[in-house]
Amino acid sequence: MKHTLLIKDWLSSFLSLLFPRCCVVCGRPLAKGEECICTECNINLPRTNYHLRKDNPVERLFWGQIPLERATSFFFYEKGSDFRLILHRLKYGGQKEIGAIMGRYMAAELLSSNFFQGIDVIIPIPLHKKKQQIRGYNQSEWIARGIAAVTGIPIDTESILRKKNTETQTRKSVFERRDNVEGIFELQHPETLAGKHILIVDDVLTTGSTTLACASCLVDVEDIRISILTLAMVE
């Protein structure tokens, strides 16, 4: 057994020399034990720390519109910043595992603040089936997988469906974004979510229109409570 482990360790080191794993932010080779981003980039990640602030800017986006318990985003998405590559590689680079890794990092940091306390189920923002077939995966679901791995909270990908394949939200105004996502989600079997505390998970928060459209499907469910968590938010 020990001999086998030594061979695996040697093979892993040899493959790393030929095909080094690199930080998605700075491009430098990752050290043993590092995943996705290097330690230096992890330290410098522009965290919002909004999970430590009640009535934070993310929560304010949804005040008075849904039965909100709490909401936060993990880090700031800034145009021109190398940290934007985390989202770009996840959404457009086919690197779905980035979602799970960053989901784990995010959940591990938020865990001590009791952000996940009382949450019954995670619902990642669904993609339309055509878009998911083209991309090959739902990036929000992969972020949710990372969160679930740390928290043990189950994921539900069946209760909310995306029934319209909308245009991209990029370059749309606030009003255009709201019109673009109006009525695009549909709730299935609402009785199964009655009395539950739902965590809606998405990749990036801009105006909150897509997240709000998804959460609005749940407002008529009996005794529903909603929290929101995104990997990034546009500053």
Q: If you compute the radius of gyration of the chain from its CA atoms, what whole number of angstroms results?
A: 19
Q: Tokens in use for 59?
A: 């929560």
- The reported pLDDT for the residue numbered 181 is 66
What tens-digit pLDDT sequence spans the chain (235 residues)? 555 544 444 444 444 443 479 999 999 999 999 999 999 999 999 999 999 999 999 999 999 999 999 999 999 999 889 999 999 999 999 999 999 999 999 999 999 999 999 999 999 999 988 989 999 999 999 999 999 999 999 999 999 999 876 655 455 445 444 555 677 999 999 999 999 999 999 999 999 999 999 999 999 999 999 999 999 999 8
C-alpha dist (Å) from residue 43 to 33, 40, 61, 125: 15, 5, 28, 28
Determine contact, residues 198/219, Cβ cutoff 8 Å.
no
Question: CA-CA distance, 229 to 234, in Å (whole number)?
Answer: 14
Q: What's the pLDDT at 235?
A: 83
Give pTM, 2 decimals. Answer: 0.86
CB 110 within 8 A of CB 151: no
Tell me 148's DSSP state: H
DSSP secondary structure of 43-106: HHS-B--GGGSTT-HHHHHHTTTS-EEEEEEEEEE-TT-TTHHHHHHHHHSS-THHHHHHHHHH
Closest CA to 21 of 74, 126, 95, 80: 95
List the domains of the chain with CATH numbers.
15-44 (no CATH), 47-165+183-234 (3.40.50.2020)
Q: What is the pLDDT of residue 90?
A: 97
